[in-house]
Amino acid sequence: GQTIGIIGGGQLGRMMALSAREAGFKIAVLDPTMDSPCGQVADIQIVAPYDDEAALEELAEISDVITFEFENIDYEGLKRLTEIAYVPQGAEIIRITQNRVTEKEAIVNAGCPVAPYIVCESYEELVEKIDQIGFPSIVKTARFGYDGKGQQKLLSKEDLPLAKNLFDHSQCIVEGFIPFEKEISVIIQRNGNGETYCLPVGENVHINHILHETIVPARISTETKQLAEEAARKIAEHLQLIGTLAVEMFVLNDGQIIINELAPRPHNSGHYSIEACNISQFAQHIRAVAGWPLREPKLHSPVVMVNVLGQHVAPLSNSITKYPHWSIHLYGKKEAKVNRKMGHVTILTDSIEETLIEIEASGIWSE
């Protein structure tokens, strides 16, 4: 049988591995930590840093095809890997999306709208140029931010010093604050033959900058849905996507969209597809990188996905018997730290509104 190598052993790698396993592949994973969520379900674990030359060579040796589950892997290492192994997604998409500056440029070059923004190399430059963006605005480190880490909202000039330490490790972008009506995401997947499909658009609710719920179908107009899918297609085309790209967007009051950011991999907001669609984002990703024809995604049922963070694990396990219709996913992480993504719950429903009330009333997510 064929072996799929996965760089990164988190929950996304785990769910990729479970899908690949079903399709008959063997799994090798490269992750710096022993017993990672993906390592637990893989056939072969290579425990080493992502840029470890010998480890990458070992992965190349045993894998027929290599994919990745997150974007903060070493670009140079990945590029070398493309020369000695089959990495259908290439390294370029990682270079572009691991830095907000090149990512925004790519979105603009694809012909899609972004929030007004400037690039600042230093705190002094921020102070000097902030009037070009004004207030409210958000400063974001160009690299390594996630779940709202590496960001500072600025309401006025008085807030500027709060952004000072963001420049310690990285240049930053400063963007205008968008008074959005809601947030949505489109997960788009493409294989080497150019076959391209979007998963149904998800509506995302964040709490403390961390994804809390994804509601599908998103409660948006047909026009907005079309705009969202068109934008995702333009960006995928521009990047010559192979594999999976998640496109996060803001929806404005008038139904127009603005692209927030990209992720070149399966995305938390697509987990609903495991139960709610004829093909999950993970199974489709494996088909795409394996060079198989893609399936046209179909939504079987409206659905709500809720994230289970560290603080939700105990209340969830205490209530599990009350909710037999919930699909529970836990990622096998040992330490239930506050705000750490430990799992998710998927609820197929005839009534989104009633399910949102049920989630709220369960009390599990009140912390």
Annotated binding site for ATP: 100, 140, 145-151, 175-178, 183, 206, 260-261
Which among 26-34, 139-147, 306-314, 315-323 is the span making contact with ligand ATP, rule CB under 6 A? 139-147
| Per-residue mark of binding to ligand ATP, 175-214 (x: CB under 6 A) | x-xx----x----------------------x--x-----
Binding to Mg ion (CB under 5 A) within 231-250 occurs at: 248
CB of 202 to ligand ATP, least distance (A): 12
Distance CA 106, CA 86 (A): 25
Alpha-carbon radius of gyration of the chain: 20
Distance CA 150, CA 169 (A): 10
CA of 255: how far to CAs of 173, 213, 221, 250, 265, in Å? 26, 21, 7, 10, 27
Q: Which is nearer to Mg ion, 265 or 287 (CB)?
A: 265
Distance CA 218, CA 221 (A): 9
CB of 177 to Mg ion, least distance (A): 15
What SS3 state is found at 353?
helix
Which amino acid type is present at position 203? E
Q: Where are the alpha helices (H) located in the chain, listed in sequence order?
A: 11-22, 53-62, 75-84, 92-97, 100-109, 123-129, 222-238, 273-276, 281-290, 313-319, 352-361
CB of 183 to ligand ATP, least distance (A): 5
| Per-residue mark of binding to Mg ion, 248-267 (x: CB under 5 A) | x------------x------
Biggest CA-to-CA distance, the chain: 61
Name the β-bridge partners of 347. 304
Which among 18-26, 174-182, 236-244, 335-343 is the span making contact with ligand ATP, rule CB under 6 A? 174-182
Q: Does 147 participate in binding ligand ATP (rule CB under 6 A)?
A: yes
Residue ranges of the annotated binding site are 100, 140, 145-151, 175-178, 183, 206, 260-261
| Per-residue mark of binding to ligand ATP, 253-282 (x: CB under 6 A) | -------xx---------------------
